Chain A
Amino acid sequence: MLTNPAQSFAWPLDRAVAAVIEGDTGIGGLLDPAGPRLASPPVWSNVAIRGAPLDYIVIGESTEGESAATPFGGYARDNALTLHVWTRDLSKRSALVILSRLVTLLHRRPLDLVDDAGAPLRTVVGEFSIITVVPDPSGEATHGVGRLAEIVIFQRGT
């Protein structure tokens, strides 16, 4: 029996990934030293406010769909999430170094998720399927892109 099938897991995933990144002290040392001095890296949702000081990370577009997996007889959804790294460094170096740290933190790593009611969700860990760096057309930033895919999030059956 399903506990709560009418629920998206996309926002709980966003929150969990943001918590992992914000809780990592390692990324802070990788950010532009001329940028803001913060205990944790700036993490924005969807897009940063205009003029936000570089460097920062954006938790971007997400996709969610029905999953063929039914672990433990529960209810599962397949999710994917794209992370964007924006750096002042116009070479690829900073973006790739920060992306590498994100891979270390999130690739095939379990996530602590809770649903809208605060009940724990379980994850089958995701993998980074795309890593790329492109120059931003503004000429003022470099854009790193990492897509974390194949994240199966499920509730146990009751």
Chain B
Amino acid sequence: MARQGSTNGVELQLSYRNIAATIARVYSVYPETLAGARQAVAEAGERIRDRTKATVRVDTHFMQEHVESFIPPEGLTVEVGWRESDFTAADLPFYPIFQEFGTIYVPANPALSNAYAEEKPRLQAEVSRLVREAIERRRGGE
């Protein structure tokens, strides 16, 4: 889900919620499933961050250098994007949102959204694999 903090753009980030977190909680009785979900989410975040860096439009390199991924303590969510505070500190407007969504005269040049779209099926497949393995273990009487 893309999230915009305010109309001034506090942050622009994509976060994986729901799928990995929900499934992992359901199967949290299996520590290895939970650990696998955390690892899958973390790796997905790294790939989204790296893909965004590789494809973002480059002029001053500021956006490229400031795309970040952040994993909250529970480890089942990853947030990737830009922080407005980095732009404010550099006396810059928070312009990533205009790169991602475009302006009235300039078409969008989405890097983060596309990276997320590319990664989403991979994470879904990995979570499906973890769930399948947990079900098989349960059937096996573990």
List residues of A whose CB falls within 8 A of some B CB: 46-48, 50, 60-61, 63, 65, 68, 78, 80, 82, 84, 86, 92, 129-130, 132-138, 140-141, 143, 145, 147, 149
- Report, as a range, how many residues of chain B touch the other chain: 20 to 34
Point out the residue from A65, A82, A132, A138 that lies within 8 Å of B103, measured CB to CB.
Answer: A138
Residues of B within 8 A of A135 (CB): 7
Judge whether B110 and A136 touch: CB under 8 Å. Answer: no
Chain A interface SS verdict (over half): strand
Shortest distance from the beta carbon of A77 to any chain B beta carbon, whole Å:
13
CA distance A86 to B121 in the complex (A): 31
Q: How far is the CA of A63 from the CA of B120 in the complex (A)?
A: 13
Interchain CA distance A109-B39 in the complex, whole Å = 36
| B28 interfacial by beta-carbon distance below 8 Å | no
Q: A92-B7, A134-B4 are in contact. List 10 more A-B contacts (CB 8 A).
A: A50-B105, A60-B108, A63-B117, A68-B121, A68-B125, A84-B108, A133-B7, A136-B104, A138-B104, A143-B101
For B97, what are the chain A residues with a Cβ–Cβ distance below 8 Å?
Answer: 134
Interchain Cβ contacts within 8 Å, total number: 62
A44 to B26, CA, bound (A): 46
Which of A78, A92, A130: most chain B Cβ within 10 A?
Answer: A130
B-side residues, CB < 8 A to A, are 1-2, 4, 7, 9, 93, 95, 97-98, 101-108, 110, 113-114, 117-118, 121, 125
5 pairs from A and B in contact (CB 8 Å cutoff) = A47-B105, A135-B7, A137-B93, A137-B95, A137-B103
Expressed in whole angstroms, the minimum distance between the Cβ of A13 and any Cβ of chain B is 15
CB nearest to B109 among chain A residues: A61
Q: How far is the CB of B119 from chain A (nearest CB, A)?
A: 12
Chain B residues closer than 8 Å to A92, beta-carbon distance: 7
- Residue from B1, B4, B107, B114 having most chain A Cβ neighbours under 10 A: B107
Establish whether residues A143 and B2, one from each chain, have CB atoms under 8 Å apart when the complex forms: no
Partner of A129, one of B1, B102, B105, B106: B1
- Hey, which chain A residues are within 8 Å of B93, CB to CB? 137
